[in-house]
Amino acid sequence: MKKSIRRFFGTQAAVASSPGHPIRLALLAPCALLGSFAISAVAQAAPESDTTAETPSPSIEVDSNSLISGDAGDAATSSAADASAAEAMDTEETPPSVETSGEAADVETGAADEAESGQSELADDEAEHAPPHKLKHVQIPKAGKTQMWVRNTTFFDYFGNNYNPQTNDDQFMALVNYLNFGTTSRMDKWKLATMARLDTHKLFNGKKQPLCDTNGDLTVDSIEAQACNYEDDIRIERLQLRVETKHVKVTLGDFNVNFGRGIALSVRKINDIGIDATIKGGRLDIKTKPLTITALAGVGNRQQSEYASRLLYKDPGYAHSLCDAKAQAFTTNSYGNRLWTTCSDIITATRIETKLPGKIRLGTHYGFLWFGTQNDGQNEALHLVGGDIGRARIGKFWDIFVGATALMRNYHQRENFPDLTEDGIALYVQNLFSRGKTSVLVEGKYYDNYVVARDVNPVTVQYAEIPTLERADQQPPAGANTAGGRIRIDHTLGDSGLTLYGNFMGYAYALTNHEEMFSSEAGGEGRMVMHGFAGFLYNNRESGFSVQGSGGYRWEGYQKPFYTDQARYERKLPAADIYLNKALGAYRGLVHSISFRGDWRYEKVQKGVTHKFGFHRGNLILGYGLAPYVTFAFIGGFSSEFPALEGEPQLHDQPCEGDESACLRKPHLWPGGEVRLNFLSNSFVRVFGGRQVGGLLCVNGSCRVLPDFEGVRADLVLGF
C-alpha cells in the first residue's frame, strides 16, 4: 500500500534524526519528542533519504530557527514522498504549536465547575474528561480585506567554550533579532502580499582578549582586523512584493526556488547547517491547464548572521559590474549592501512543466549562473540544462521518476583557459512499487563533476541539493562524484500497527572532480560506501503508545587499498537507535506524555596506514510534556572521538594523534537540558543549557563541520 511507505518517506519530524549528529538531535529532538502524544510515530519514522521535491510556490520562509539547528519543519525529506521539506520552504511559516489530543482537539475549552475538585468520583471523572486546553490565538485585526502579521524572533547565545585551540571565540554573548512583518490582501480575483525582515546582530565580549585577536597577544593587528568576522550589524535582510491571480503569480524581492527535485536549482533555508538563502530579484509563475511556466532572475542572497558561531559572512560571488561604486552608494558595509543585495552571484532560470496523455508529467529547465570575475580577470559562469519525466500509478502499483541535468562550466574559457572548463552531469531515477501493505523503493544516481556552486564553502549558497540516497542522520563522504543505488522494503502486518522495513545502499565515489570514481588497481582513487539497516515501527493510537527502532552497519573505504598492508576501510560502524513515546493521559484538559530516545554507534576510523582508532558516540534523551504549555528534555550526549579532558570522566582511553603536548582534548560526556514554554498559539520561549558535540553535518548533500558548543542558547518567538 502506498500509504505504508509514505509513513516513512514523507517529511519527517526531526526527532528521527541523528545518531551521527548530536547537535542536530539535541536541539531538534526535544521539541519533537515532547508535547502531545498526537505527534504520532508515523510522523517520527526512521530517517530516510533526502530527495528534495519540486516546489511550486515563490514566496519565502519567515524565519523559525531552532536554538541551533532549526525547527522540525526543515527536517530531512524522503525520496518516495510527493511532498518534502522543500515544498514548505516557500510558505509564510507560522511558529509550530504543540498539538493536543487527537479528535478531542476541536472541543470547546473550559472544564465543568467543581465544588470540591479531586474529592468526589464525579469531580475526578469530569477532570479526566475535560476538554483539552487550547493556546490562545492572537491576531492583528483585519483592515477591510487586508490582514497584517508580525513575527519577531530573538536569539540570545552565550558561547562559553567550543573546545578548539583558539580562545578568542570563547566567553562572548550574541543578541540577534529577526523582525518579520507583512500584509496579505485578498480580493475577489487576486491577492496582494508584502513582507519585510529587519535583522540586527550585536556581540558582547566577556573577556579581556578581543574577539578578533587570534594569536592571543591581546591586540588586534591589521591582518587580524581584515580577516575578522566578529562585528555588529543591522540590515534589511528580506523584502517581497507578491501579486497572485488564478493563473499568474508575480514576485519581486526575495524568493526561494526548487527545480527538478533540487538537482537543477535549489535555493532555500537549510537551518541545520546555518544557511538561510534566497534569490533577490523577480519571478514569474504562469499556471494553466496544459502548462506551468516559471521564469526568474536575480542575485544570490544569504543571511549574513551565521547561527553556529555568530560570525558575519558576505553574500556569495566574485566582484562584477553590480559591485561598482554606484551600486553600493547606499552603504560601505563590508558584508554587502544593507538595503538591497547587489554584489552577489547572478542567477537566471526557467522551468516548463506539462501533463501529457496517460498521466505523464514532463518538465524541462534551463539555468545560467554568473559568479563574477576572479582576481586574475577570469570570468566564472555555467549553464544548466535538463529535464525530468514521471508517471504515477502505472498498473496501479508503480510510480516512476527520472531526472537529468547537464552542467557546462566556463564554456567561454575553452580556448584561453581549458583547465577551467568542466562538463558535469546528474542523473537520478526513482521507482516506487506498492501492493497491498508492502512497498518497495528502488533508487539510482549517477553524478559526475556535478558541482554547481563556484565555491563549495558550506557557509555560502550551493544552488543544488542532489538526492544522496542516504539516511538523514548520515555523513555522505561525497556528493558531486557518486554513482550507485539503494533498495528499501516496507511491510505492515495487517491491522496490528506494526511495520517492518529493511534498506541497503551502495555507491562508488571520488573526492574531487579530477579523481576517478571507479578504480580496479591498487593505489587507485576510487572509494565506495555500503550501508544496510533494518527496523520496525509500532503505533497504537488508542493507547497513545509508539515505539520504533533500527540497527545497521556502514562501511566506507577504498575499492583497492593504497598499500598491501593497509586495510581497505576508512570508516566503518555499527549503529542502533530506539524511540518510545507514551501518553500518560489527560487531566483537566492537560495532556501528559513522556518520551525516550537512545542512539549509539561505534565508529572505527583509519587515517593513512598507522593512525587507527575507534570511538563511541550517541545520545540519551528523556523528555516530558504537559501539552499544550510546557515541554522539557534532558539530553545526555557522549563522544569519545578525542582524548578526554583532564579531570573529567572518560568512556575509554583514547590516545593522542601526534605530539602529546599539542593533543586536542575534549569532553566525553555532553549533558544538556532544554525547556520550552508555549504561551500563545504562535509564540513560545525556549532555553537550552549545556554542552553539544560538534562534527560534520550534512543536509541534502550540503555539508559543514559545526563547532562544539558549551553555553546557553535561548530564543523568544512572538507571532501575531
Average pLDDT over residues 77-95: 36
Q: In this predicted model, what pLDDT tens digit does every residue of 393-442 receive, in sequence order?
A: 999 999 999 999 999 988 777 777 777 788 999 999 999 999 999 999 99
pTM: 0.82
Average pLDDT over residues 507-523: 81
CB 403 within 8 A of CB 263: yes
What DSSP character marks residue 327? T
32, pLDDT greater than 90: no
How far CA 406 is from CA of 334, 427, 515, 652, in Å, comes to 35, 9, 19, 49
What DSSP character marks residue 3? H
pLDDT at 609: 64
Reference 719, options 276, 62, 89, 58; nearest CA is 62
Percent of the chain with pLDDT over 70: 76
Q: Which residue has the cell 495487517?
A: 494
pLDDT at 588: 82
pLDDT at 411: 79
Range in 108-122, 366-380, 462-476, 550-564 the model is least confident about: 108-122
**Distance in angstroms (rounded) separating the CA atoms of residues 12 and 25:** 13
**Distance in angstroms (rounded) separating the CA atoms of residues 133 and 678:** 12
**Distance in angstroms (rounded) separating the CA atoms of residues 100 and 544:** 12
Average pLDDT over residues 474-502: 94
**Ranges of H-type helices in 34-130:** 121-128
Q: In this predicted model, what pLDDT tens digit does every residue of 310-336 receive, in sequence order?
A: 999 888 776 666 666 555 444 556 787
Distance of CA 288 to the CA centre of its chain: 32
Average pLDDT over residues 9-25: 33
CB 104 within 8 A of CB 131: yes
Retrieve residue 526's grid coordinates.
576510487
* Mean pLDDT of the residues in the chain: 80
250, pLDDT greater than 50: yes
CB 468 within 8 A of CB 500: no
CB 160 within 8 A of CB 619: no
pLDDT at 332: 58
Average pLDDT over residues 297-321: 85
Beta strands in 256-397 (DSSP E): 257-259, 265-267, 269-270, 275-287, 291-302, 346-356, 360-373, 379-394
pLDDT at 523: 59
Task: Give the domain ranges of the chain.
Answer: 2-105+139-719
Q: If you count them, how many residues does the chain have?
A: 720
Confidence band, pLDDT 50/70/90 cuts, at residue 235: very high
CB 622 within 8 A of CB 26: no
Q: In this predicted model, what pLDDT tens digit does every residue of 36-66 receive, in sequence order?
A: 333 332 233 333 444 333 333 334 433 333 3
CB 651 within 8 A of CB 616: yes
Q: In this predicted model, what pLDDT tens digit does every residue of 668-697 receive, in sequence order?
A: 999 999 999 999 999 999 999 999 998 877
Retrieve residue 430's grid coordinates.
526513482
Residue 711 Rama label (left phi>0; alpha psi -120 to 50; beta): left
Average pLDDT over residues 695-702: 73
Distance of CA 458 to the CA centre of its chain: 13
Q: In this predicted model, what pLDDT tens digit does every residue of 607-634 receive, in sequence order?
A: 766 678 999 999 999 999 999 999 999 9
Range in 102-116, 230-244, 619-633 the model is least confident about: 102-116
- Return the number of other C-beta atoms located less than 10 Å from residue 664's C-beta: 12
> Can you list the pairs that 512-517 forms with residues at least 24 positions away whose Cβ atoms lie under 8 Å?
512/481, 513/422, 513/424, 513/449, 513/451, 513/480, 513/481, 515/481, 517/448, 517/481, 517/482, 517/483
